[in-house]
A = this chain, B = another copy of it.
Amino acid sequence: MRRRQTRNKKDIGIKVIPIGGLNEIGKNMTLLECQDEILIIDCGMSFPDDEMFGIDIVIPDFSYLMANKEKIVGMVLTHGHEDHIGAIPYLLKNINIPVFGTRLTLGLVGNKLKEHNVIGDLRTVIPGEKFKLGKNFEVEPIRTTHSIADAVCLSVNTPAGIVFHSGDFKVDYTPVDGEPIDFSKLAELGKEGVTLMLCDSTNAVRPGFTASEKVVGQTIESIFRTAKDRIIIATFSSNVHRVQRIIENAVKVGRKVAVSGRSMENVVALAIELGYLDIPAGTLVDLRTARNIPDDKLVIITTGSQGEPMSALSRIATGDHKAIKLKKGDMVILSSTPIPGNEKTVSNVVNRLFEKGAEVIYSDIADIHVSGHACQEELKLLHSLIRPKFFMPVHGEYRHLIQHSHIAESLGLSKDNIFVLDNGDILNVKRDKAHIDRNQIEADAILVDGLGVGDVGNIVLRDRKMLSESGLIIATAAIDRFGGILVSGPEIISRGFVYVRENEALIEEAKQVVKDTIEKCLENNIKEWGSMKAKVRESLSSYIFQTTKRNPIILPIFLEV
């Protein structure tokens, strides 16, 4: 009897289903499914790539969850960065499930839900304290270090054994809050036996170790000591540790601190409320009264270190910021490195700041930022502690996942036990075996444009791309098809093609081409709208291409009169 039970239990498998975060940076979301229960880990957003014209943000595809609502036992969060919590409001609008996270993480989620007018069932967890979810999952959040406070990795006990999810992490032996990774717990897990590890791959191509946040603190201190006038320092609002370091160093050199930028104000307020920021009384001043403070006694912390066009720092750089006008002698610090794709935008802001006479310190010229993600030696450390039977690299582009696989192999894990998945694949895991089923569930990038979620698809994006490249030309006419008469028009209207006032001859000739084509159609009794439009499109686009070597969208619009 007992033996049978054991065998049965051994046979219960789980499915690991990545909906986002594989072959991309961002929109991290993974499901653990066992029998009739689904546990969700994280629910992040990502930023649109260059081809996603007009898109605000990108979120994971919730179709599988919508079809399996009743199975969901809850969502567990690893930390409060946008790429892990940013899509939660979009999910909670449709499904009411409990969301588990540490205090700061849930604080950030709460702010986000408020913005979206969504109510959430948020439940605080404590690192080291296990909790059950459904009948199949027991979750233990474990303290880890990352570029945001209160980050955890997750140990999930399942019928197929322990699944360990690293979350995002780096190994910081000297974190700002004095709370390093719970190594003993990780070692214990490794000893107990972990069936599957999912691990952050963001920095898997970087050799060595990521430097401690402490290094940035030292750079900040030395820069603060040399500054003669006002200091303006930009960083990610969610990097509460960095903000803490900035404030500590401001205090050290006898300066007050003001905060600018909505998200920075919100996060600082939240972090103070929850006790994640330790600010001596009298240090924080209101930005509006900051003008009464001498320049050499003030530090302004702000957002926009990625050059975001509407951010406080961009507005300071262009002179559009209401409260902060740049002066010669100001020192501006960008405490960040550009996220891939943002390099040019950041350089533009730096150039504008220099032009305004500020001294600008940025990542090219000082160690003013450290990554939040583990480099190769740190990954090896985690692998060596956890010693999982199976390994699945997560959080990264394909090149990162492949490189992470190589690292796991180099540590002795068999190639057969390493699983590189794509979003929408399923990894079937039992205690002693695992295999991938490819392409099982829908896991597309869902594009959010204004209020529309998912209504901008490939056709609309293709049109936007074509419009952006050569604009469009509209040829319009009122036609009496019955009488075979061109009643009014044709009119030629263009947008994004050429500046019409300087190209009247071209437009006149185009008009003539359209007129001739319509009249020929009517003569030859071609009166079906589709055929007429095709003829006009053909003759006009060929005329335009010959004269300009451009390919605008050609849009014939005919009205029956």
Contacts and interface: CB of A to CB of B under 8 A. Distances in A.
A297 interface: no
Interface stretch (A74-82, A216-224, A243-251, A460-468): A460-468
A365 B205 CA distance: 7
A354 B502 contact: no
A561 B468 contact: no
Contacts of A344: 49-50, 340-341
A164 B363 CA distance: 32
B343 A340 contact: yes
B502 A455 contact: yes
Task: State which size class the interface on A falls in.
Answer: 35 or more
Interface string A39-78: 0000000000110011000000000000000000000000
Contacts of A468: 53-54, 464-465, 467-468
A478 interface: yes
A561 B365 CA distance: 67
A451 B547 contact: yes
A299 B463 CA distance: 40
Given A399-B360, A460-B471, A489 B340 contact: no
Contact of A478 (B205, B399, B488, B555): B488
Contact of A495 (B350, B360, B467, B489): B467
Nearest to A351: B398
A499 interface: yes
A457 B471 CA distance: 13
B452 A397 contact: no
Contacts of A471: 54, 460, 463-464, 467
A455 B488 contact: no
A496 B450 CA distance: 14
Given A471-B460, A488-B478, A491-B557, A452 B498 contact: yes
Contact of A355 (B398, B487, B496, B555): B398
Contacts of A502: 455
A505 interface: no
A88 B76 CA distance: 61
A287 B340 CA distance: 35
A35 B553 CA distance: 51
Interface in A322-360: 340-341, 343-344, 347, 350-351, 354-355, 360
Interface in A152-207: 205-206
Interface string A465-483: 1011111101011100000
B550 A452 contact: yes
Contacts of A550: 54, 449-452
A456 interface: yes
B464 A496 contact: yes
Interface of A: 23, 49-50, 53-54, 205-206, 340-341, 343-344, 347, 350-351, 354-355, 360, 364-365, 397-399, 402-403, 449-452, 455-457, 459-461, 463-465, 467-472, 474, 476-478, 487-489, 491, 493, 495-499, 502-503, 547-550, 553, 555, 557, 559-561
Given A467-B496, A495-B553, 18 more contacts: A54-B550, A206-B364, A347-B397, A450-B548, A451-B550, A452-B498, A452-B550, A459-B499, A460-B496, A461-B496, A464-B467, A464-B468, A465-B468, A476-B476, A476-B559, A487-B559, A488-B560, A489-B559
6 contacts: A54-B470, A449-B470, A460-B496, A477-B559, A478-B487, A495-B555
